[in-house]
């Protein structure tokens, strides 16, 4: 029985991170070359890979300061 071929070009799904607070937030993301900082103004959003999301972003999501959407 032949094995299924796994696509290696699929690097992950994109998520939209948006700032829901009335103040600017600086969030840390994981990039291929290390960490990078992204400044989000109020009501601003950025599209990132799911693998770039750090624990800081997840904590801000729990506190309802930012939203993570598909």
Tokens 């960490």 belong to residue? 35
According to the model, what pLDDT value does residue 12 have? 76
- Is pLDDT at 9 greater than 80 in this prediction? no
The two structure tokens encoding residue 35: 């960490």
Higher local confidence (pLDDT), 10 or 28 = 28
Helix, strand or coil, per DSSP, at residue 37: strand
| Class of residue 60 by CB neighbours under 10 A (exposed 0-12, middle 13-18, buried 19+) | buried
pTM score of the predicted model: 0.77
Tokens representing residue 31 in the block: 């990039």
Residue 65 has pLDDT above 80, yes or no: yes
The band of 8, judged by pLDDT with boundaries at 50, 70 and 90, is very low
- DSSP β-ladder status, 45-49 and 66-69: unpaired
């Amino acid at each position: 029985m032949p094995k299924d071929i796994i696509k290696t070009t699929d690097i992950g799904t994109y998520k939209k991170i948006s700032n829901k607070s009335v103040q600017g937030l600086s969030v840390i993301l994981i990039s291929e070359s290390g960490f990078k900082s992204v400044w989000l103004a109020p009501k601003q959003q950025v599209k990132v890979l799911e693998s770039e999301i750090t624990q800081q972003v997840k904590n801000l999501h729990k506190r309802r300061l930012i939203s993570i959407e598909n």
